[in-house]
Amino acid sequence: MTLNQTSLPKHVAVIMDGNGRWAKARQKPRRAGHRAGVKAVRATVEEAAKQGVEVLTLFAFSSENWARPEEEVHSLMALFLEALRREVDELHRNNVRLRVIGARELLNPGLVKKFGDAEEKTANNTGLLLNVAVAYGGRWDILVATKRIARKVADGEIEVDDIDEARLAAEMQLADCPEPDLLIRTGGEQRISNFLLWNIAYAELWFTDVLWPDFDAGEFHKALQYFAEKQRRFGQTGEQLAAAEC
């Protein structure tokens, strides 16, 4: 099924939550939940590309996830490596451009190298842009952008009064992307958990109790349908928008 293109979000961001509970319900270790989560990633990427979504941004590992038990952090990093090894050729065949956002300096250099290779391989693809957020936090993103701006002021490149929202946004990880129109969170919690704090100012938020490994095309369609039914106002009144459409 292909949904109505006129009301399709350009950029969908996803907080993939519930892998641990999915595994626990099956008396399996947490890493089995993350492994099952990779399948849901594949299904979501395929469906986003099929529907014509331009950008998909997935929250794979947050700044706060470093606090998890060492064994789980290690198994997640190993899973990212394995997923890259298994999926990059297929992504490339499907014209997907892969990009990793986050604090690379905190990651294992071997993994960073593989991320770089995958980004390079898919750099000229013109289909879906897939951003995978690893060691990412919304506050970290704003902080890094702020430091870059401060450096420009210190170097005399710009004046303090030149700083505006556009300048700050231009220094952030997703500077070249349209802002997310739709944020999906699975796993039943209704919070942002330090994801794209700056970028989601006007995003529609859609929450589902479905645990991430069970997320599939059908569930994705529900989110897209919810988005299609929303009247997006950007602070204006419904009347103003109706008048602008005439």
Q: What is d(CA 14, CA 58) in angstroms, rounded to the nearest whole number?
A: 5
CA 14-15-19 angle, 5° bins: 125
Instruction: Specify whether the CB–CB gap between 132 and 60 falls below 8 A.
Output: yes
* Marked catalytic residue, from 4, 65, 95, 117: 65
Contact (CB, 8 A) for 44 and 24 = no
- Residue 1 near residue 191 (C-beta atoms within 8 A): no
- Min dist. Cβ of residue 185 to ligand FPP (A): 10
Q: How far is the CB of 22 from ligand FPP (least distance, A)?
A: 7
Q: Which is nearer to ligand FPP, 20 or 149 (CB)?
A: 20
* CB 120 to ligand FPP: min, Å: 18
Verify whether residue 65 is a known catalytic residue: yes
What number of other Cβ atoms are within 10 A of residue 50's Cβ? Answer: 15
Query: Is residue 199 annotated as a catalytic residue, yes or no?
Result: no
Query: Looking at beta carbons only, is 92 or 167 nearer to ligand FPP?
Result: 92
Identify which of residues 58 and 183 has a Cβ nearer to ligand FPP in the complex. 58
Query: To the nearest whole angstrom, how small is the minimum distance from the Cβ of residue 169 to ligand FPP?
Result: 24
List of residues contacting ligand FPP (CB under 6 A): 16-21, 34, 37-38, 41, 58, 60, 65, 79-80, 83, 132, 187, 212
Residue 35 CA to residue 167 CA, distance in Å, equals 39
**Which is nearer to ligand FPP, 80 or 206 (by Cβ)?**
80
User: Cα–Cα–Cα angle for 60, 205, 90, nearest 5°?
Assistant: 40
| Residues with catalytic function | 17, 65
